[in-house]
A and B are shown apart, each in its own frame.
Chain A
Amino acid sequence: MAIVRFGDISCALEPGETVLDGLERAGASIPSSCRVGACRSCLVQARAGAPTEASRRGLRETWRQRGYFLACLCRPQEDLEIALVGAAAERPATVVELARLSPSVTRVRLALSGDRSDWTHEPGQFINLARADGLTRSYSLASLAGEPLLELHVRRMLGGRMSTWLHEQVRVGDAVRVRGPLGECFYTPDAPDAPLLLVGVGTGLAPLWGVAREALRQAHRGPIALVHGARDPSGLYMRGELTSLARATPQLRYIASTLDGDDDDAADHEPIARGTVLDHARAELARLGAAADTRVFLCGDPELVKSLKRAMFLAGVPLRGILSDAFVTAAPPAPATTTNSA
């Protein structure tokens, strides 16, 4: 039976128990959210002992070397001494702007408190946002590194504790904490002529809005197509901004796609393209040019991201050319209650 030590706490794990479960049972407070290895909220560092391979898989090499692992995936065979990860330390921040972008999406802008000279992020990465009481959820960053505020797009989830709070109760001036940046879904300037295909559903637009603007800021030369999908037109948001940007930027195509519903805003915006996001993604990939050279960014619902990834790979995009960020919804804390992660 493995013993896990964290600060003053020492805990003998029960068979099959994870480091996260065991430490929580022993009264420790470890940041966590999805508990399935996706959000990386529970990234911790082994100070002594070896974490399991399963809890380190997919982490970047520099992290592995420093003993980082995910507490929610680790069922250790040997004793461990762990610490919270300093690199992703929490920083205090303040809510400074709230705007309703659609009936279900609120834009939240945050200001990091104090000295932010050591903060840097790539648009498309995500942060873990913690409320004063410790409730934590992941949100993608839509803002550029040089912009003074961090921008998040929060979709209201039915019964979601954090999203309901951010839609209804939070006030400008409220204090929160930010941990990050995390994630690998961002633009890199190593292939300036590559076609870029950005596909997202719902608030999967947030990282893509960041990635598209960052690519343009870095003078990307290849064509860019951004496909934003929703079930019906009320799920589309920022159509005005995206339409304006696409009209002002010849290399950028914007495709707003829904399965059904009447389009009331057609006069002001790019008309809505009917059909599935998958079909539009395939069509745009073919239009952009050589699939083997195309960089693809996929964000949003995990099942859709999975099928898109497979479809793009089968259509000829190399796996290393596909970056994805699946928005895992946090496990419900109690029956009939769901929580949000976006």
Chain B
Amino acid sequence: MTSIYEQLGGAPAMEKAVEIFYRKMLQDDRVAGFFEDVDMDRQAAKQTAFLTMVTGGPNSYTGRDMRAAHAHLVARGLTDLHFDVVIGHLGDTLAELGVPAELIKQVADVAESVRGDVLGR
């Protein structure tokens, strides 16, 4: 079975998806604060890795990476609420790119699987 990553068009499609996804996050006051002082290019690279992972593309993400990468955000108050916002923007992004609802559900399930690591639980 081809992955959603492949169905979307692989790496070039990820770049396009990240542009949409990242803009949604920056314009959402509930999560924008977490992106205040980050380098935008580096942040986009991280989001590309994240989107590649949740759409089933080639990745080397581990739970430990997710935990370490978000520890400083948890210290700044990252909670389930913010995680839900991100999952929402992820779904909206994929919907804009024409991904059918049942596949978006699959992607959301993969993202859900790292919730505990991201939130440091």
Contacts and interface: CB of A to CB of B under 8 A. Distances in A.
Contacts of B39: 58
A318 interface: yes
B8 interface: no
B40 interface: yes
B61 to A, nearest CB: 16
A314 B19 contact: no
A318 B19 CA distance: 7
B40 A310 contact: yes
B42 A313 contact: no
Interface string B7-35: 00000000100010011001100000000
Nearest to A57: B42
B44 interface: yes
Interface string A289-330: 000000000000000000001100110001110000000000
B40 A314 contact: no
B41 interface: yes
B40 A313 contact: yes
Given A314-B23, A314-B27, A319 B40 contact: yes
Q: Chain B: interface secondary structure? A: helix
Interface string B31-57: 000000001111010000000000000
B19 A58 contact: no
A5 to B, nearest CB: 30
Interface residues of A, number: 9
B26 to A, nearest CB: 6
Contacts of A58: 39, 41-42
Contacts of B22: 313
A309 B40 contact: yes
Contact of A314 (B15, B26, B42, B44): B26
Contacts of A57: 42
A313 B40 CA distance: 9
Most buried by B among A57, A310, A313, A319: A319
Contacts of A310: 26, 40
A309 B42 CA distance: 13
Contacts of B44: 319
B37 to A, nearest CB: 9
A309 B27 CA distance: 14
A313 B41 contact: no
B42 A319 contact: no
A310 B41 CA distance: 11
Contacts of B41: 58, 319
Contacts of B26: 310, 313-314
A13 to B, nearest CB: 23
Nearest to A309: B40
B87 to A, nearest CB: 22
Most buried by A among B15, B23, B40: B40
A314 B44 CA distance: 13
Contacts of A314: 23, 26-27
Contacts of B19: 318-319
A86 B14 CA distance: 37
Contact of B23 (A309, A313, A320): A313
B36 to A, nearest CB: 9
B93 to A, nearest CB: 15
A255 B87 CA distance: 42
A309 B26 CA distance: 12
A153 B5 CA distance: 48
Contacts of A309: 40
Nearest to B39: A58
B68 to A, nearest CB: 12
A-B complex: 8 closest residue pairs judged by Cβ atoms: A319-B44, A318-B19, A314-B23, A319-B41, A309-B40, A319-B40, A314-B26, A314-B27
21 contacts: A57-B42, A58-B39, A58-B41, A58-B42, A309-B40, A310-B26, A310-B40, A313-B22, A313-B23, A313-B26, A313-B40, A314-B23, A314-B26, A314-B27, A318-B15, A318-B19, A319-B19, A319-B40, A319-B41, A319-B44, A320-B15
